[in-house]
Chain A
Amino acid sequence: MTEPANKKDGANHSTRSPALALPFLGNVKVKPGVLVAGFSVVLLLAIPQLFPPGIDAKSKQNWLDLFAKFMAMGILALSVDLVWGYTGLLSLGQGVFFGIGAYMIAYCLTLHKAAQDARPKMTEGEPTTVVLHYQGNFPSPKTVFINDGKYRIDSIQFRVLKASTPGLTAVLTKLPAASLDPDTAEQIHNDTLDLTGPVGKVQPMVLKGEIAEEKILRRLEEEGDRLYLEVTGNGDRGEGEFTVVLIPEIEEYMRPGEVPPQFMQYTGFAPNDPNYVPPPGLALIAPLGNAGVAVAASLILPALIAGLFGGVIFRLGVKGVYFALVTQAFLMVVFLAVRNQQRFTGGVVGIKDMSSLELFGQSFDSAENVRATVYLVAAALVGSYFICALLIRSKFGRILSAIQDNENRVLALGYTTALYKTAVFAFAGLLAGLAGALYVLANHPVCDTVYLSVPFSIEAVIWVAIGGRGNLFGAVLGALLVGFGQYYVSSALPEFWPIALGLLFIATVLFLPRGLTPVAGPGALLGLLLGVFLVIYLEKYNLFDAVDQYLGVGRRGRVFVGCPIILLSVFIPKGLTMLFKALMRFSPGRAMPTGSVSPVPGS
């Protein structure tokens, strides 16, 4: 599958870097950038391991949660960048697909929680018949039956097989397992049993339990509940048998989809009740009770909707600014629709009552299981990155890039550009849905309409703008950078974050039109991770408190130290490389390789 490397000097990329022959991709040059990229990927996957030892558990959980959230945002950023940076279509409405993914998982989890919290349903199984025998000279009371499950006594028939000494009577009593004193056993039938006969005749017993207080007598609920035969009188007790028909009572836990979740604010009858009428919408979302279905829905549904929307819009030739505004209007429609439908979507408040996600035996949420969530999100992020990278490097990706460059030319070459745009838009929708689904786990247990708001989608765009348009690493970088930056500034100066964000928008557009990555190099993401962990270590060793005290500004000190660290850390690798190169220049006897112009249309 690999092609010979240097078939014809002019027709191939000539640099002096070694090349790896990989399947599909042909020759991939091993440049420092690639190595750094690889390293950052490894780092992302190992985040939970990198914390300072002895860090306080709550603090660690908090940081892990942040990482999970921002990495999920990183996937959203990839989605935006794929469509904007590579194909030239600015979508201001990726939040729609993010939100769909989020809500699908949220529905699943809230249905699970509702089922867990609900009382189990009692259903009755097939009747079983038990024969209780008595014979011989037994002490009274005699245990004739020890319960081994949950039953309701349906009927008891009594038959004397051999008459006893005349005058002997007996009663059947029940003693619950919890009670130890046989004298407190209660009779479970109305009349007394005559042990003397008639022999052979089957006598149905009239059981108690018709009125409410007696109902308990007909139920055998605990293991160890006992039935006693208590004989009155002395003498030969004869022989006889009771044929007991027991109806097993099966405690069926409610299944997800059977119980209305909290957001529906259902105040009707309980699901166990015969008068229960399920609220509208429950039937609609019930299939999402299955985790597999929910995951599939969170990926497929946004992709479908994106494909439909894109299919129509691109066929009409809507592009540029108009496309951006139409996506925004579409977002607005969905936002209003969801916000308005309290009974179907949780409305403005959203969905707040969720269980953890159980997948393949592992729980994911943002509390005890946050580590698992971080691994999951990191894996998803890395996986998404690789798929995007493959996509970009394929001919499909080059066609997308060509569409951005000069759509007329692409059409004139015979490509149906609308299909390509629709395809990438649908895939971006899938990615955004994935991001939303993962975010719900990280932002557990809340899912609300913020994801569908106009500002949220625009923020996603700014992450890409800051990190680096047309650069996959840059997209992720932007999401993480802004995420941590926001966390830092908001924790100390919440009122000023929107202003800082606004300034960031303006500054990026004016001074960094292609984002940070072209300036900071491919190591920027690595640098950021280093910076964040540096901050974590500083915090753990209370160095920030020292700064705060020194500056005397309360908690604000950490903003002044933490933020610059995070911001400037993106330049660390570039700085190191430059230093390295400078040192190399002064190293004796080593000719610098002259690299030729090698095109890297986005990494």
Chain B
Amino acid sequence: MSTQNHHTPEKILRVEDVTVSFDGFLVLKDLNFSIERGELRVVIGPNGAGKTTLLDVITGKVRPAKGRALFQPKSSSCQDVTKLTQERIALLGVGRKFQTPNIFKSQTVLDNLHLSAKASRRVLPNLIRFSRNGSSRIDEVLETIGLAPKASNIAGLLAHGEKQWLELGMVMLQDPELLLIDEPVAGMTPRESEKTGELLMSMAKKHTLLVIEHDMTFVRQIAQTVTVLDEGQILCEGTVDEVQRDPKVIQVYLGPDRELLAT
């Protein structure tokens, strides 16, 4: 986003030759993938294509058998995240919204946000922090995700869509440079999806987003560039229209028999 250098826009993430194998089965094969800073990239692909695994590699949950993933934070040096711990990567500036809502079900909405807010992650300082009151930032986020009236509710009792939003709120508070969003609108109504889309697009102004989704309406709403993943490799990259017209993509999604064209 800095306009100082007019070189090619900086790559915030470069995945190079990454191969991930689960007991012999290759989930990602020599994958090369990159995102530029400030992009909103959507990744689609059939089930089992390796999309979530890609996110796992970036966040350090899964170690690739070979390859590396270089993350370039704004104000420090480039790092290979395949060699870092999950928490270190998160602190470096990578946030993630998981496929199923990963929130703290036994705590209140407010407490959930509290834990995500930017504050020391170290053990000792947290031993003497007691206050549960919100900062203005937390209040802002509460408004944005629409959960202000439910701040004292137990998160586990929220509706599915609300849980997704809560998680998004948590990620927003974490304020990472790179946000990885895994199926944000799964199980949402069209109206909720639209709202989520707006949310994401407003976040995209100041962050880099990598979104995994299946819902093509939603993809249309938000996507700039789309990457299609299949069987651990990139099939195609381009705008939504380009990708939808690509014969390889059609074959992979719909099978060789074109009569199955449903959606």
In the complex they form, do A and B come into direct contact, defined as C-beta atoms under 8 angstroms apart? yes
A interface vs B, CB < 8 Å? Answer: 3, 7-8, 10-14, 24-26, 391, 393-396, 398-399, 401-402, 404-406, 408-417, 419-420, 423, 596-599, 601
The smallest beta-carbon distance between A315 and chain B, in angstroms, is 9
Which of A391, A398, A419, A420 has the most chain B CB atoms inside 10 A of its CB? A398
Bound CA–CA A401/B152 (angstroms): 17
Assess the A13–B152 pair: CB atoms within 8 A: yes
Q: Please judge, given known A-B contacts A11-B133, A11-B148, whether A398 and B116 are in contact too, CB under 8 Å.
A: no
- A-B contacts counted at CB < 8 A amount to 119
Bound CA–CA A402/B111 (angstroms): 10
Chain B positions within 8 Å of A10 at CB level: 142, 148-149, 151
Assess the B105–A406 pair: CB atoms within 8 A: yes
Chain B positions within 8 Å of A419 at CB level: 123
Assess the A394–B127 pair: CB atoms within 8 A: yes
The smallest beta-carbon distance between B212 and chain A, in angstroms, is 15
Which of A12, A405, A416, A423 sits near B105, CB closer than 8 Å?
A: A405
Which of B87, B127, B149, B152 sits near A597, CB closer than 8 Å?
A: B152
Which of A401, A417, A599 sits near B87, CB closer than 8 Å?
A: A417
Beyond A13-B152, A396-B129, A601-B107, 7 extra complex contacts between A and B, CB < 8 Å = A8-B134, A11-B151, A413-B115, A416-B87, A417-B87, A597-B153, A598-B152
Bound CA–CA A416/B87 (angstroms): 6
Assess the B102–A395 pair: CB atoms within 8 A: no
| 8 Å CB interface, B18-39 against A | none
Q: Please judge, given known A-B contacts A11-B139, A402-B107, A413-B115, whether A395 and B133 are in contact too, CB under 8 Å.
A: no
Chain B: CB-nearest residue to A423: B123
Assess the B95–A398 pair: CB atoms within 8 A: no
Bound CA–CA A401/B126 (angstroms): 13
Tell me if B62 is interfacial: C-beta within 8 Å of chain A: no
Tell me if B91 is interfacial: C-beta within 8 Å of chain A: yes
Q: Mind listing 28 A-B residue pairs with CB under 8 Å?
A: A8-B139, A10-B148, A11-B133, A11-B138, A11-B151, A24-B128, A394-B126, A395-B114, A395-B115, A396-B123, A405-B104, A406-B103, A409-B102, A409-B103, A411-B87, A412-B59, A412-B90, A413-B115, A413-B121, A414-B90, A414-B174, A416-B85, A417-B87, A596-B152, A597-B154, A598-B152, A599-B107, A599-B108
How many residues of chain B are within 8 Å of chain A by beta carbon? 45
Tell me if B110 is interfacial: C-beta within 8 Å of chain A: yes
Chain B positions within 8 Å of A3 at CB level: 131, 133
Tell me if B57 is interfacial: C-beta within 8 Å of chain A: no
Chain B positions within 8 Å of A416 at CB level: 85, 87, 121
Bound CA–CA A409/B101 (angstroms): 10
Bound CA–CA A14/B150 (angstroms): 11
Tell me if B168 is interfacial: C-beta within 8 Å of chain A: no
The smallest beta-carbon distance between B195 and chain A, in angstroms, is 19
Bound CA–CA A417/B103 (angstroms): 16
Chain B: CB-nearest residue to A26: B131
Bound CA–CA A8/B142 (angstroms): 12
Bound CA–CA A396/B120 (angstroms): 11
Chain B positions within 8 Å of A406 at CB level: 102-105
Chain B: CB-nearest residue to A4: B133
Q: Please judge, given known A-B contacts A26-B133, A415-B87, A599-B152, whether A420 and B123 are in contact too, CB under 8 Å.
A: yes
Across chains A and B, which 10 residue pairs bring their CB atoms closest together, nearest first? Answer: A414-B90, A395-B129, A414-B91, A395-B126, A411-B86, A396-B126, A405-B104, A409-B102, A396-B127, A10-B148
Chain B: CB-nearest residue to A14: B152
Assess the A414–B105 pair: CB atoms within 8 A: no
Which of B104, B121, B131, B174 sits near A401, CB closer than 8 Å?
A: B104
Bound CA–CA A601/B104 (angstroms): 12
Bound CA–CA A411/B116 (angstroms): 11
The smallest beta-carbon distance between B137 and chain A, in angstroms, is 12
Chain A positions within 8 Å of B154 at CB level: 597, 599
Q: Please judge, given known A-B contacts A8-B139, A11-B110, A393-B130, whether A399 and B102 are in contact too, CB under 8 Å.
A: no
